């Protein structure tokens, strides 16, 4: 590889590591993407970053596309180039960012896999509440499905965030945005059983809602592991994780109500397009809603 090109990339990598304090994995991804661009430049006899123009970057993106890279990977390559050129401008090595106006192929939005109502019911009912762990895990899983919480939201819940009388949970979501959510009857019952079990074990002074046997707050990794444990025990083929229960909550609510705005509020999404990605309605349900609602749907 041409020394001038690689030296600039090495300096950029040091900048990411030492000034921006990025993780090793992130820095490695930047370096791989830029080294791939260097190979393209050398094939085209380009020896400096100043000489790489928008036209060549479009050719580079087209080549990546022909090689079969996914739209997401191509977007990452382009993002790496944009960040790199912002650094070069700051260092006075180039005047403009030729990657800024280049667009990557659109990435199709993937729908997360979900569980149907029978699968969720079987999973939750399978968790017996005869032990400390069983009581806790059942309460966690019921609350995930009842209120559509994010993993981080559930992990940071304190006992004071649960209003048993009004059947509400007070949640702090992304960007420290607060929202109040209803708690379903089964979840409420499971939480009450869990709190009684905690008190019996002498752990009534712990502030966190979901705790270990030692009284410490249960971390996100441990929550993930417990859900996966129960999923495997139930014999579910796919990995059971918190987001699948959140997605099941959103999907089942939308299928039952058809109210996308209400589901958006419950999930805490700022943009309704995010809700559309996280929820899906099967066509048969949509057809029934259409037949019921559209004034000219049926033949007279």
163 by DSSP, 3-state: which?
A: strand
Query: Is the dihedral angle over the CA atoms 46, 48, 49, 52 positive or is it negative?
Result: negative
Whole-number pLDDT of residue 3: 76
From 136, 246, 247, 252, active-site residue: 246
Whole-number pLDDT of residue 111: 55
Between CA 120 and CA 111 the distance in angstroms is: 18
From 174, 232, 239, 288, active-site residue: 174
Whole-number pLDDT of residue 165: 94
pTM higher than the cut 0.85: no
Whole-number pLDDT of residue 254: 80
Between CA 43 and CA 114 the distance in angstroms is: 46
From 77, 136, 138, 150, active-site residue: 150
Instruction: Respond yes or no: is residue 269 known to be catalytic.
Output: yes
Instruction: Respond yes or no: is residue 174 known to be catalytic.
Output: yes
From 86, 93, 189, 243, active-site residue: 243
Equal CATH topology for 3-90 and 117-238: no
Backbone φ and ψ for 51, nearest 5 degrees, come out as -85, -10
Whole-number pLDDT of residue 259: 80
Instruction: Respond yes or no: is residue 138 known to be catalytic.
Output: no
Per domain, the residue ranges of the chain are 3-90, 117-238
- Asked if 255 and 285 touch (Cβ cutoff 8 Å), the reply is yes
Between CA 22 and CA 24 the distance in angstroms is: 7
Between CA 217 and CA 90 the distance in angstroms is: 44
Instruction: Respond yes or no: is residue 150 known to be catalytic.
Output: yes
Q: What is the pLDDT of residues 87-111, one digit of tens each?
A: 999 999 999 999 998 987 776 555 5
CATH architecture entry for 3-90: Orthogonal Bundle (1.10)
Instruction: Respond yes or no: is residue 278 known to be catalytic.
Output: yes
Whole-number pLDDT of residue 277: 65
* CATH annotation of 117-238: 1.10.443.10
List, for the chain, all residue ranges whose pLDDT scores fall below the cut of 70: 1-2, 107-113, 237, 273-274, 276-290, 294, 296-300
Instruction: Respond yes or no: is residue 66 known to be catalytic.
Output: no
């Amino acid at each position: 590889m041409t020394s001038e090109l690689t030296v600039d990339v090495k300096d950029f990598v040091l900048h990411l590591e030492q000034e921006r304090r990025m993780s090793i994995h992130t820095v490695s991804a930047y370096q791989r993407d830029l080294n791939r661009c260097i190979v393209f430049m050398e094939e085209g006899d380009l020896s400096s970053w100043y000489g790489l123009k928008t036209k060549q970057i479009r050719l580079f993106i087209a080549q990546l596309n022909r090689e079969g890279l996914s739209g997401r990977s191509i977007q990452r390559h382009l993002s790496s180039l944009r960040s790199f050129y912002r650094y070069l401008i700051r260092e006075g090595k180039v005047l403009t960012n030729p990657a800024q106006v280049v667009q990557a192929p659109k990435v199709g939005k993937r729908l997360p896999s979900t569980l149907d109502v029978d699968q969720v019911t079987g999973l939750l009912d399978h968790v017996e509440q005869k032990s400390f762990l069983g009581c806790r895990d059942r309460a966690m899983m019921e609350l995930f499905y009842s209120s559509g919480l994010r993993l981080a939201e559930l992990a940071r819940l304190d006992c004071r965030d649960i209003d048993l009388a009004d059947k509400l949970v007070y949640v702090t979501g992304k960007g420290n945005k607060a929202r109040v959510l209803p708690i379903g009857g089964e979840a409420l019952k499971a939480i009450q059983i869990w709190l009684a079990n905690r008190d019996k074990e002498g752990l009534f002074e712990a502030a966190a809602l979901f705790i270990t046997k030692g009284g410490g707050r249960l971390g996100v990794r441990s929550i993930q592991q417990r859900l996966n444990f129960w999923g495997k025990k139930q014999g579910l083929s796919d990995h059971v994780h918190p987001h699948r229960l959140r997605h099941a909550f959103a999907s089942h609510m939308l299928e039952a109500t058809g109210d996308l705005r209400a589901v958006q509020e419950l999930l805490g999404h700022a943009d309704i397009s995010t809700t559309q990605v996280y929820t899906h309605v099967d066509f048969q349900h949509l057809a029934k809603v259409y037949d019921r609602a559209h004034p000219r749907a049926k033949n007279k």
